[in-house]
Chains A and B, each alone.
Chain A
Amino acid sequence: MKAGLNQYVKYALVLLLSIALILFTQEIKLVKNPESTPVTWLTIAGLFSLYLFSMMGIGISQMMKKIDISFLRNFPILGWVSITSLVMCLIFDFFVTAIQAVDFLSITTPILTFAGISVVDRLADLRKSSWKIGLVAVFVFIGTYVVSALIAQFGLTLAG
């Protein structure tokens, strides 16, 4: 039980770090371009909403782990957070207004910073896979993206 609680404290701290970095990034963006999204009290409220929904999503995902339906058990935590936020935002318009005061691109830079740090030890593993797989990867990624886009384009044109 104690270990479980400790884990939640850790999640809470990491999330706090995450929203603090978003705020920092949005401030730096303003230094570079004063025209970008301003930091207001609404932004702070938005950041706390993001924090709240993330924690709720973590809670729901942990609860689902106890349910004996593999689909729900394996559903990614990222998905639960999006769904929680979607439901809350559909119920209360305020959350939408507040969260949109947080600059979208400012959320992405800190994430990719940590993503970069997290993969450095795998760079060495790259040498183990052949150039052929690398080439295939390019076509695999283009494949899924372009075929989806073609279907979507066709469908949207039909829908008018």
Chain B
Amino acid sequence: MNKVNAVLLLVFALVIITIAELIGIQSITIGSITISLLPLVFAIIITMVLGMKVLRAGPLKRIYSKQNVDFSSKYLIFIMLPLMARYGADVAPQMGEILQVGWVFIFQELGNLGTVLIGLPIALLIGLRREAIGATLGIGREGELAYISEKYTLESDEGRGVLSLYIIGTIFGALFFSIIAPVLLDLGFRPEALAMASGVGSSSMMTGASSTLVARLPEMESTITSYAAASQLLTSFLGTFTMIFLAAPLQQFMYKFLVRSDRT
């Protein structure tokens, strides 16, 4: 690894963190809905904008060197590990309370079918066909990617659907969830329910959703992070089974039904 570039990357990260933290939490209120933008949102927006190919000149070219970008994507998961450890510590003191409503946690896992129930009709309506299978099976993370590539290969229409969703989710997932979670809060959902729902199966999306809820309701921090983390952990246990035994058959059924009725 080029040492100068690596040092530049580190300095750059410190600068971005400083800028993002000094901007702090900004709230935008539209009617009765408040959107909170956290430092993490500024951090990802600034790093993405500065990384656009047209801007990559001088020091930015060295910061966004292939090695540095590869390092970030290869080790991102390891940079995230302390956060995962933190979630464990959040769940521990709330364990009794969580087990008490354990059945709610298990039932809300069925919410993962929402990708098919809501996503598939919309996809077919705007004219997608086989791509829709890949794009709506789940939130397009590693699990869906593996399933679709095994069943249809990634070069198929289904494969292109899931790959596109994977890319969109990687780039905008955390951002999207950090905006949508407080909107639902303003629409009257209970914070506990939204925290539970945050465990969608992607750690960055879960973090986006739960962090903005924490920022809005700091006094409920321990409940929010523990519910989100417990549900996320449950999704990583049950997610594959939900996908294979429920989402995939449901999707096949709905697809045949909707595409047929479309022709008549």
Instruction: Using CB atoms and an 8 Å cutoff, list the residues of chain A in contact with chain B.
Output: 11, 14-15, 17-19, 21-22, 24-25, 28-29, 31-33, 47, 49-51, 53-54, 57-58, 71, 75-79, 81-90, 95-96, 99-100, 102, 104-105, 107-126, 128-130, 132-153, 155-156, 159
Contact = CB atoms under 8 A, between A and B. Distances in A.
Contacts of B114: 142-148
Contacts, number: 374
Contact of B84 (A82, A109, A115): A82
B215 A122 contact: no
Which of the listed residues A21, A54, A124, A130 has the most CB atoms from chain B within 10 Å of its own CB? A54
Interface of chain B: mostly helix, strand, loop or mixed: helix
Interface in B126-170: 126-128, 131-132, 135-136, 138-140, 142, 160-161, 163-165, 167-170
B57 interface: no
Contact of A105 (B47, B118, B131, B214): B214
B110 to A, nearest CB: 6
Given A53-B85, A105-B39, A105-B215, A118 B118 contact: no
Which of the listed residues A75, A108, A110 has the most CB atoms from chain B within 10 Å of its own CB? A108
B106 to A, nearest CB: 9
A113 to B, nearest CB: 4
Contact of A145 (B92, B168, B209): B209
Contacts of B135: 133, 136-137, 140
Interface residues of B, number: 126
B51 A117 contact: yes
Contact of B193 (A18, A108, A149): A149
Nearest to B214: A104
B69 to A, nearest CB: 5
B77 interface: yes
Contacts of B236: 75-76, 78-79
A149 B210 CA distance: 13
B14 interface: yes
